[in-house]
Amino acid sequence: MPPSISPVELRTSPHVRTTQSVELIMRNVVYALLPISTWAIWQFGLSALALILTVTATCVATERFFNWMADRPSTLSDWSATITGLLLALTLPPGFPLWMAVVAGFVGIALGKALFGGLGFNVFNPALVGRAFVQAAFPVSITSWTPAFAPGRFTEFIPTTFTAPFTIPPDLGAWVKAAGVDGFTGATPLSLWKFDGVVTSSSDLFTGMSAGSAGETSALLILLCGAYLAVRKMMDWRIPAAVLGGAFATALAFWLWGGEHFPQPLFVLFSGGLMLGAVFMASDMVASPVTPLGIWIYGLFIGFITVIIRYFGGLPEGVMYAILLGNAVSPLIEQVTQPRIYGAKEAKK
Amino acid sequence: MDSKQTPITMDTFLAQVWRDNPVFVMALGMCPVLAVTSSATNGLAMGIASTFVLIGSNLLVSMLRKLIPKQVRIATYIVIIATFVTMVDYILQAMAPAIYAALGAFIQLIVVNCIILGRAEAYASKNGVLASVVNGAGTGAGFTLALLLLGGVREILGAGTLFGIDLFGPHFQPWLVMILPPGGFFALGAWLLLFSWLKQRKTRRAELKGEPLHAG
């Protein structure tokens, strides 16, 4: 009997069809980051634009360079290097010298991603690796903040932006004084609270009317962009929820215990990089756990550590180190939260 | 006992400097490598001190190799090495107190540097006196080279100087992290990467040449 040609395509499993791919998800994360980048440029002007373009270009170029070094086809089309670049730029102060930003971008992709084998193998969030490196290398520049909504922000750059490579950026004090708008200083809400005891109002923080890293100021905008990703099921909503919940619970406990020493829980939630970190960095698909219980433990751990570093550490902000620590322990969390296989018995200890 | 005496060639020396570099290829002696290379001067001093100990211990071990009972050889090697380390310790303390202070306990810790014990065990105990001395000198040179490369990178980036000489003028922005302990790991990792990449590329090119793909 001759084999009949079947009209049905026969294949081995899996038969699941999905429209989602790495490329599609990554492209949507880029879309979600664009409004935040636009807000950063609106708020901090030309310098923020130059910063975002430089860091993104560096990340993409570094990714391509390591593709070439490893004799592999280009991985630029999966958009992940673009995301790393955008995220990294958004966590840097707007007036960050561009040559240092190039260092940050290079280290982030090289040390955080390429050396582990590229996308899918990185232990840590590459953007945060880059930022942690420049935080350790250039501690002064990365804490030199400039006021938001400076009047000449669309006509002139912040003087530190174009510092010649390998040289110390000029002191910003005089420039900030000259450019400062009434009621705005260069200090971030967190350093104001930590070093001067001034608490910025939560509504200003929520809408983004404060100084800070380029993309961390507007909690509202970050939440909206995160919600877009969560609705399209391109991000696990449980991770930001757990991180924010963990931070809020810890802050609430401290506030109830000794109210006058600690800021209000809402201030903790909306200030600094917590929102950006929780929504876009802790939720890194590669470096976070996948087990259902593990996700909650991971998120709560990050939120808890963030608040502890803010209250008792030397630096005003602790989100970056908290997320890196969370990334580091996520394989362990996965190991102890493995769900029981259906029908399997509990192993004897 | 030594049935086959390998002849002493340039390779006895050079292999230890480059192809079998104790730090970048064999990855031995990482503790002093990371700890003392915050500046090129410290690296160089550590390298010279270790080279002296290497040559001395290889010489003595090789001379005594037929007298040392197999069962107690490791203890004997350590005593020999410790003798030379004590000499270096006193010499440095007397002649270069600043470097002695900078290197601290790492001078005494040369005793437990596995490069030196490794050479005694793997080479000096099996080879002639002259070959052992040449091999020891080569290993020392390789170790010094590694320390210099690491210390150089860390000092240039971390302080803008090389051997204490200002390179870039007063406007240089130092990369603080490079002279801190993490910088040691970063610099070492970068050099290891470069070395293994060069090696891989070499083998790949050799394979390409070996294949009769482009015959004619």
For residue range A248-283, list pLDDT tens digits in order.
999 999 888 877 778 888 888 888 788 888 999 888
Q: How close, in Å, is residue B161 to chain A by CA atoms?
A: 13
Tens digit of pLDDT for each residue in A329-349? 999 998 888 887 777 776 655
- Residues A111-166 have pLDDT tens digits of 888 888 888 888 899 999 999 999 888 888 888 777 777 777 777 788 788 887 87
B197 contacts A166? CB cut-off 8 A: no
Confidence of residue A57 (pLDDT cuts 50, 70, 90): very high
The nearest CA of chain B is from the CA of A283 a distance in Å of 27
| A175 three-state secondary structure | helix
Answer yes or no: is pLDDT of A19 > 80: no
**pLDDT-derived band at A179, boundaries 50, 70, 90:** low
pLDDT of residue B106: 86
Chain A residue numbers with beta carbons less than 8 Å from the beta carbon of B195 are none
- Name residue A145's beta-bridge partners: none
Whether the per-residue pLDDT at B1 is higher than 70: the answer is: no
As given in the structure block, the two tokens for residue A226 are 């995160």
Q: Is the pLDDT of residue B195 over 60?
A: yes
A204 pLDDT above the threshold of 90: no
The predicted structure's pLDDT at residue A151: 75
Contacts of A168 in chain B (CB under 8 A): 171-173
CB A190 within 8 A of CB A307: no
Closest chain B C-alpha to A115 CA, distance in angstroms = 9
What percent of chain A shows pLDDT beyond 70? 87
Residues of A in contact with B189 (CB under 8 A): 111, 115
Q: What is the pLDDT of residue A79?
A: 87
Q: Is the ipTM reported for this complex over the cut 0.85?
A: no
Question: How far apart are the C-alpha atoms of A126 and A283, rounded to whole Å?
Answer: 13
- Residue A233 class from Cβ within 10 Å (0-12 exposed, 13-18 middle, 19+ buried)? exposed
Q: Rounded CA gap, B158 and B175, in Å?
A: 5
Task: Please name the residues in contact with A58: beta carbons below 8 A apart, sequence gap of 6 or more.
Answer: A85, A101, A102, A105, A106, A109
Structure confidence at residue A178 as a pLDDT band (50, 70, 90) = low
Please give the pLDDT value at position B210.
Answer: 67
From chain B, the residues in CB contact with A167 under 8 A are 168, 171-173
Mutate to test the interface with B, among A98, A167, A321 (most CBs of B within 10 A): A167
CB contact under 8 A, B173 and A139: no
Report helix angle B129-159 to B10-17, nearest 10.
Answer: 30
- CB distance A69–B168 less than 8 Å? no
pLDDT given for residue B77 in this prediction: 92
| Cα atoms in the Cβ-side hemisphere of radius 13 Å centred on A45 | 19
In the predicted model, is pLDDT for residue A325 greater than 90?
Answer: yes
DSSP sequence for chain B:
--S-PPPP-HHHHHHHHTTT-TTTTT---HHHHHHSTTSHHHHHHHHHHHHHHHHHHHHHHHHHTTTS-GGGHHHHHHHHHHHHHHHHHHHHHHH-HHHHHHHGGGTGGGGG-HHHHHHIIIIITTS-HHHHHHHHHHHHHHHHHHHHHHHHHHHHHHHSEETTEE-S-TTB---HHHHSHHHHHHHHHHHHHHHHHHHHHHHHHHHHHHSGGG--
Question: Which residues share a beta bridge with A167?
Answer: B172
CB atoms within 10 A of CB A212: 29
Contacts of A164 in chain B (CB under 8 A): 171
Confidence of residue B53 (pLDDT cuts 50, 70, 90): very high
| Nearest residue, CB atoms, B177 vs list A69, A136, A167 | A136
Lowest mean pLDDT among A95-99, A199-203, B152-156: A199-203
User: What is the per-residue pLDDT for A299?
Assistant: 93
Residue of B nearest to A70 (CA): B197
pLDDT for the residue numbered A181:
54
Indicate if the pLDDT at residue B170 is higher than 60: yes
List residues of B whose CB lies inside 8 A of any A CB: 160, 168, 171-173, 175-178, 180, 182, 186, 189, 193, 197
**Banded model confidence at residue B3, pLDDT cuts 50, 70, 90:** very low
Distance of CA B109 to the CA centre of its chain: 14
Q: How confident is the model at residue B216 (pLDDT cuts 50, 70, 90)?
A: very low
DSSP codes of every residue in A203-272: HHHHHT-S-SSTTSS-HHHHHHHHHHHHHTTSS-THHHHHHHHHHHHHHHHHHHHSTTTS--HHHHHHST
pLDDT of amino acid B2: 45
Average pLDDT, chain A: 83
CA angle A105, A314, B38 (to 5 degrees): 60
Tell me the C-alpha distance between A46 and A315, whole Å.
28
* Closest to A292 in 3D by CA, of A236, A223, A228: A236
Query: For residue B186, which residues of chain A lie inside 8 Å, CB to CB?
Result: 111
Find the mean pLDDT for residues A196-223.
75
Percent of all residues in chain B with a pLDDT value above 70, rounded to a whole number: 94
Q: What is the pLDDT of residues A78-101, one digit of tens each?
A: 888 999 999 999 998 888 889 999
Nearest to A108 by CA among A83, A95, A125, A91: A125
Q: Which two tokens stand for residue B5?
A: 């005496």
pLDDT of residue B55: 93
What is chain A's alpha carbon radius of gyration, rounded to the nearest angstrom?
Answer: 22
pLDDT at A241 over 90: yes
pLDDT at residue A196, rounded to an integer: 67
pLDDT for res B215: 42
Q: Report the predicted TM-score, pTM, of the whole model to 2 decimal places.
A: 0.81
From chain A, the residues in CB contact with B176 under 8 A are 136-139
Is omega for the bond preceding A331 within 30 degrees of 0, making it cis? no
Residue A171 has pLDDT above 90, yes or no: no
Residue with the bigger pLDDT between B81 and A157: it is: B81
Q: Provide the residue ranges of all domains of chain A, joining segments of one domain with +.
A: 21-144+146-186, 187-335
- Helix (H, G, I), strand (E, B), or coil: what is residue A73? coil
Q: Say yes or no for a CB contact (<8 Å) between A166 and B173.
A: yes
